[in-house]
Every structure is written in structure tokens, then in C-alpha cells.
């Protein structure tokens, strides 16, 4: 099975994670519990957008790393970042709810975006190494033209 075949399942998983994060965010915020004004809803939308940003970036970059030698590394890292973030949100909302649980919506995306930068650097480094090896192998291969 080619690496490109894993792009669609990865994107479906990321979409499910986005839906779960959105649901947990709305559950924790409880905008239906009181009289919230327009600015409260705008703040909630901005916070949920920030929480969904790493998942959207992982999904957008999935095709970029679908055919290269670094595809498995990207897919494994994306899976780790997505499920790790989802675990953090679920633990804050359902596992150990307290007054500071909402801070996970500030710091989890920050950690996920930092992890995404590290993952991108690793994938680009692997891609450069693969190109250097391919170039070295092409330079050492005998030519088919023969002597003139």
C-alpha cells in the first residue's frame, strides 16, 4: 500500500479529532448556561479556532508528505500530535475538571504547533538526506553511453 493511501484516513482522523475538540470546548464553555453577549461568543470562537489550528495544519500538510521517503514519519508524528492533544482536552474536560481546565485551550495548541514545527524539521531533514543519497547513487552509477 502506498503512502498516498494513508492521506485520506489521516485526514478523516484529524477531522474526527477536530469535531471532538469542538464538542469538548463547547461542553466546557457552556455558552447556553448564562446570558452571554456578542463579545463572549466572539472570544469563544477565537479560542476554539486557536484550538483547531494544529489539526487543520496537520491535515493541510498531509498531502505534502504523502509520496516522499518521510511519509511514514510525518504520519506517525501527526497521529501522535493529534491523539495527544485530544487526550489533553478530554482529560481536562472529563477526567479532572477544575477551574483551570480551560487553560488547556491556550497551551495545548501551542505545544501541538511546536511539535508540528519539530516534525516538519525532521521530515525536511529526512527528505534532504534521501535526495543526497539518491544523488550520490546516481553519480556512482555507470553510464550507458560507453566510450567515444
Q: Report the alpha-carbon distance of residue 147 to residue 5 in Å, rounded.
A: 44
Residue 102 DSSP class: G
Instruction: pLDDT tens for the chain, 148 residues: list them.
Output: 566 677 888 899 999 999 999 999 988 887 777 767 777 888 889 999 999 999 999 999 988 876 667 888 899 999 999 999 999 999 999 998 888 888 999 999 999 999 999 999 999 898 888 888 888 877 776 666 655 5
Q: Look up the pTM and report it.
A: 0.83
* pLDDT value at residue 108: 96
Taking a C-beta distance cutoff of 8 angstroms, is the pair 55, 25 a contact? no
Residues 6+ apart with CB under 8 A from 96: none
Amino acid at each position: 500500500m502506498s503512502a498516498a493511501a494513508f492521506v485520506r484516513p489521516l485526514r478523516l482522523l484529524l477531522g474526527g479529532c477536530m469535531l471532538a475538540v469542538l464538542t469538548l470546548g463547547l461542553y466546557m464553555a457552556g455558552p447556553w448556561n448564562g446570558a452571554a453577549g456578542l463579545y463572549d461568543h466572539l472570544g469563544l470562537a477565537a479560542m476554539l479556532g486557536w484550538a483547531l489550528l494544529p489539526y487543520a495544519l496537520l491535515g493541510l500538510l498531509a498531502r505534502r508528505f504523502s509520496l516522499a521517503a518521510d511519509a511514514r514519519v510525518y504520519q506517525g508524528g501527526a497521529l501522535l500530535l493529534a491523539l495527544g492533544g485530544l487526550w489533553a482536552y478530554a482529560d481536562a474536560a472529563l477526567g479532572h475538571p477544575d477551574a483551570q481546565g480551560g487553560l488547556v485551550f491556550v497551551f495545548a495548541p501551542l505545544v501541538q504547533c511546536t511539535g508540528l514545527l519539530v516534525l516538519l524539521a525532521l521530515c525536511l531533514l529526512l527528505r534532504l538526506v534521501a535526495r543526497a543519497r539518491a544523488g550520490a547513487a546516481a553519480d556512482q552509477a555507470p553510464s550507458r553511453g560507453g566510450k567515444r
